[in-house]
Amino acid sequence: TIKGESGLVLADLIIGKSYEDREGFHLVRVPGQKRVYGASLDLDLSTSFSDWIEADLLKVEKEEIRSVVLKDYSIDERTGRLDQRDELAILKGDDDSWSAPGILETQEVDKYKMNNLIKALDELAIVGVRPKPEGLTASLQQSNQGIKLSTQDMLNLQGKGYYFAKDGRLLSNEGELQVTTAKGVVYTLRFGEVAFGTGVAVSAGGADELERKGPGENRYLFITASFNAAVFPEPELPAHTDYLEKPDSLWTADDYRMKSLQVEHDNWQKNMGEGRVLSNELNNRFANWYYVISADSFDKVHLTRVDVLKDKPEPPPDQ
């Protein structure tokens, strides 16, 4: 589908294989119609998945990340029992240092490994996508229709490594990672089942995937976005706005203070509004798809406490 700048559709064709070994000719069909044509096409179109997908998956800047929560758990697929092994919250300080409340006094966050994790999140790339069940997509897009999942939809989720807990939480069989940004957006990355196959079976799914054939070098990733209002504590409201009724040349010290409080509160409302809009846009973007990431990307972002903590250096001996 080729569109102009205004969104007007200029061409909408399904282009197939070459036609009867005639150079430059392809089988072509108009969407919604059964008739297939042989047409001469002079188009340089790539069919590579990587050439068409948005490369910046999360759309988050490294400098914006304020906290990371590693949720290390798994699910017994036979019994549905949750094995909650560990949960570690890591916070970023104003001086770009990292801390983790509740860890041992002899431990500290490994800044080098945390920076590598943040870099991996910023550069996270996908190698394939799969459509989610319509009922789940609607609920993730905050539809008022509610969650309507058939047995087939539930099997679809479970086949990717995702399960609903009794309390309604969506869980994954390889744990999850939560990232909060300075804009109040909370990304939740749920790590699911191994994705099998090669080629098109990886990028778009196919028989190889359904039959679990081929190498399992990739992993399903389920992403949601939400807004955390706690990132923006509400500032003090001005007690009055008397300064609006007189020229600033007559403002008292109290008027100036009220004006300053009002500006601060207006900025707070602006940040809250922008954060909510951004999180909704991201969530709608993520709602339609399971993503597939490479094993290398999975290893870089699927970390546990052992991966990000280290022992503090021994203090120098007393002189």
What is residue 143's predicted lDDT score, i.e. its pLDDT?
46
Contact of 303 with 231, CB cutoff 8 Å: no
What is residue 31's predicted lDDT score, i.e. its pLDDT?
94
Stretch 141-153: mean pLDDT: 64
The winner for highest mean pLDDT among 15-19, 112-116, 207-211 is 112-116
> Any long-range contacts for 111-119 (C-beta under 8 Å, 24+ apart)?
113/303, 113/307, 113/308, 113/310, 114/68, 114/90, 114/308, 116/300, 117/68, 117/300, 117/301, 117/303, 117/308, 118/62, 118/65, 118/68, 119/62
The tally of CA atoms less than 13 A away on the side-chain side of residue 266 is 6
What is residue 207's predicted lDDT score, i.e. its pLDDT?
47
pLDDT digits (tens, 9 = 90+) for 161-183: 998 887 778 899 999 999 999 99
| pLDDT of 30 above 50 | yes
Contact of 184 with 176, CB cutoff 8 Å: no
The pLDDT > 70 percentage for the chain reads 92
Element (H, E) at 41: none
What is residue 319's predicted lDDT score, i.e. its pLDDT?
54
DSSP 248: G
What is residue 134's predicted lDDT score, i.e. its pLDDT?
77
Residue type, 112: Y
| pLDDT of 14 above 90 | yes
Contact of 145 with 177, CB cutoff 8 Å: no
Q: Residue 253 phi/psi, 5° resolution? A: -60, -35
Residue recorded with tokens 């092994």: 85
Q: Is 297 left (phi over 0), alpha (psi -120 to 50) or beta?
A: alpha
Rounded to two decimals, what is the model's pTM?
Answer: 0.81
Q: From CA 305, how far away is CA 47, in angstroms rounded?
A: 41
pLDDT digits (tens, 9 = 90+) for 224-277: 999 999 999 999 999 999 999 999 999 999 999 999 999 999 999 999 999 999
Q: Rg of the Cα trace of the chain? A: 26
- Angle at Cα 115 formed by Cα 169 and Cα 190, nearest 5°? 15
What is residue 144's predicted lDDT score, i.e. its pLDDT?
44
Contact of 190 with 221, CB cutoff 8 Å: yes
pLDDT digits (tens, 9 = 90+) for 90-130: 999 988 899 999 999 999 999 999 999 999 999 888 888 88
What is residue 265's predicted lDDT score, i.e. its pLDDT?
97
Task: Check residues 44 and 155 and name the one with the higher pLDDT.
Answer: 155
